[in-house]
Structure 1
Amino acid sequence: MFRYIIDRVIALFITLFIIVSIAFCVVRLMPGSVYDQDGDLSQTVIDTLNEKYHFDEPIIKQYGYFLKNVFLHGDWGTSMKMRPNVPVFEVMKDRIPVTLQINLISLFAAIPIGLAAGIVAAIKKNTIIDHFVSFMVVIFISVPSFVFATCLQYFVGYKAGAFPIIYDASATGMAALHSMFLPILALMFSPIARVARYLRAELAETMNSEFMLLAKTKGLTYAQSTIRHGLRNSMVPLANIIIPMFANVLGGSLVVENIFSVPGMGGMMVDSINASDHMLTVAILVFYSMISLITVLIVDISYGIIDPRVRMGGKK
């Protein structure tokens, strides 16, 4: 198991290195200089700044300077436009908690609802309840989160006036939760549908297995056999989707945060691209990549915890 984990960690860092390399090259190959859009600077000043930060050199040399600063000094660069000369992760640190808070709350609230919907649909298979759950699953998966966000903002926030149409960054306690309710709700629909769909399929198949028939012959009721045996066996494949769903929700929040004016990483990502703040854009891409890779690593390790066959394979 230890070797299994080490192999996955090494693969994580190799993948991250490839992602960082591609992100740096793509961002730096965008047309124009970082300072071209700044009308307050003369051409002489722009040329001086480009020379200072090596923007006038070939992309391969820029990449070499970038790697040297990262590996030798832990320096990922400074923001050029958003907060000039401030380290990129210093710029990001105030935005990360808001983004994580909204995404974690939406995911943790969606999972139990999805589990309950999947269990009910599996138990009531081929009934009107099952058809209704399946229909809602199709809607929730097919419609993007930003469409739900726009509809919620208009009908629930603006028309009904039940919740604020934009996020109040100054609110605290229950007022803050009330302010972020609509963006959280907009991000919940897709995770609910994914959990319900997978659990319904797995549990419906598990309930027809021979060991479930044996459990019933031993005296367990239908509900007891489903919860004690069927649900536990159906949870193994779910680990492959529940943990990575955080990365999916995080990606969906890029647009949702902009719709509700949430001062999180999503808005900063869009602003940094529009402002050609290249180093900040690369740092944000690294942040999202790390979240995705860590979730994949957790999935791989969780398989070893849930399924003993993975641990035995790791020992070999």
Structure 2
Amino acid sequence: MLKYILQRIVAAFFTFLVIVVVVFFVLHSMPGDIIDFSPKLDPNVRQMIINKYHLDDPLIVQFGYTMSDYLHFDFGYSLKVRPGVPVFQVVLERLPVTIQLNYLAALVILPFGLFFGITMAIKKNTVYDHVASSIVILLISVPSFVLAALMQYFLAYKLEWFPLILSAEDHLTWTKFYSMILPILALSFGGIASIARTLRAELAEVLTMDFMLLAKAKGFTYRQAITRHALRNSCVPLASTFLYLFLGVLSSSLVIEQIFGVPGLSKTLLASINGKDHWLTMGIVIFYVFIGLFMAILADLSYGIVDPRIRMGGKKND
């Protein structure tokens, strides 16, 4: 187990390094001057920026200095989106809104996904199952940003049931929560459908196994047999599925935050890309990559935690 964890960490480190290298060279290969944001910029300040980030040196040398700064947890400063503010501070300021939105979406995804997955499996091949399966396929097929745009147009603009954009309040009040309902739903529909489809397939198969008949023969009711035996066996793949779904929700928020005007990390990332604020872009990308790789490792390890019978990375000895 320990050997497998170390292997996954080493693999994640090299993946992280490759992504950082690619993002760095892609950003710095884009046309235009990185510090051309103001013609009135003081020449001394301009030269100070050039010296700090070694912009007169070859690109490979710049990369070496950048990696050295990162090893010392110096992620530089935002030059355009938040001029003069450290990148780490910008991330910390924008992160709570993004976490808030994604956390609430996860709270919606899990119970509803489990509910529909269980009921679809129990009522397999009924009208309810066919209708629910069709809706699940539709929600999986349609991108979240399309659902977000449709809900914003019909429910917020036409019917005026919800605000068009997120409330600007700092704390989570009822007004702010109410304005978050549409982006939460837009982030949740795909996750609910994915969990429901996975659980329905797994549980429907488990319900036909011999041990379910044995459980009934021992006096368990149908509900007890499902909750004590069938669900436990069906939820093994859901552990990793939910973790990967969280990554999907996190990536979907890149567009959802833009549509609903959410002042979160994803909106800041898009603003930094459009404004060629390379150090801010790099800092946010590093955060997303780190979270993604960390969740991927957790997803792999979750199999062995949920079901100890699963061996992690070892060969079975005869």
Mark yes or no: TM-score above 0.5: yes
How much has 1:120 moved relative to structure 2?
A: 0.8
Structure-2 residue corresponding to 1:140: 139
Deviations 1:146-196 (A, max 9, x none): 111111112111222222111112164222211211111111100000000
Correspondence 1:138-177 to 2 at 5 A: 138-170=137-169, 172=171, 173-177=173-177
Structure-1 residue corresponding to 2:9: 9
Partners of 1:308 and 1:314 lie apart in 2 by 13
SS of 1:180's equivalent? Answer: helix
Partners of 2:29 and 2:143 lie apart in 1 by 30
The residue type paired with residue 308 of structure 2 is: P
Structure-2 residue corresponding to 1:305: 305
The residue type paired with residue 264 of structure 2 is: G
The residue type paired with residue 115 of structure 2 is: A
SS of 2:227's equivalent? Answer: helix
Deviates more, 1:43-52 or 1:197-206: 43-52
Query: Does residue 232 of structure 2 align to residue 232 of structure 1?
Result: yes
How much has 1:301 moved relative to structure 2?
A: 2.2
Partners of 1:251 and 1:77 lie apart in 2 by 24
Identity %: 49
TM-score by length of 1: 0.93
Deviations 1:120-168 (A, max 9, x none): 1111111111111111111111111111111111211122222211111
Partners of 2:174 and 2:238 lie apart in 1 by 32
Count of aligned residue pairs for this structure pair: 315
Structure-2 residue corresponding to 1:25: 25
Query: Does residue 129 of structure 2 align to residue 130 of structure 1?
Result: yes
Structure 2 unpaired stretches of 5+:
none
Maintained 8 Å contact 1:82/1:272: yes
Deviations 1:76-130 (A, max 9, x none): 2211111223221111111101001101110121111011101111111111111
Maintained 8 Å contact 1:36/1:46: no
Partners of 1:109 and 1:220 lie apart in 2 by 31
SS of 2:163's equivalent? Answer: coil
Correspondence 1:1-316 to 2 at 5 A: 1-41=1-41, 49-71=49-71, 73-170=72-169, 172=171, 173-310=173-310
Partners of 1:38 and 1:90 lie apart in 2 by 23
Partners of 1:294 and 1:312 lie apart in 2 by 17
Partners of 1:69 and 1:49 lie apart in 2 by 15
Partners of 1:37 and 1:95 lie apart in 2 by 23
Deviates more, 1:201-210 or 1:163-172: 163-172
Partners of 1:280 and 1:52 lie apart in 2 by 15
Partners of 2:240 and 2:100 lie apart in 1 by 23
The residue type paired with residue 117 of structure 1 is: F
Maintained 8 Å contact 1:2/1:314: no
How much has 1:51 moved relative to structure 2?
A: 4.8
SS of 2:235's equivalent? Answer: helix
The alpha-carbon distance between structure 1 residues 174 and 206, as it changes in their structure 2 partners (threshold 3 A), is same
The residue type paired with residue 139 of structure 1 is: L
How much has 1:305 moved relative to structure 2?
A: 1.2
Deviates more, 1:85-94 or 1:165-174: 165-174
Partners of 1:31 and 1:110 lie apart in 2 by 42
Structure 1 unpaired stretches of 5+:
none
Maintained 8 Å contact 2:117/2:198: yes
Deviates more, 1:7-16 or 1:233-242: 7-16
Deviations 1:3-25 (A, max 9, x none): 33333233322322222122111
Maintained 8 Å contact 1:141/1:190: yes
Deviates more, 1:85-94 or 1:242-251: 85-94
Partners of 1:278 and 1:248 lie apart in 2 by 24
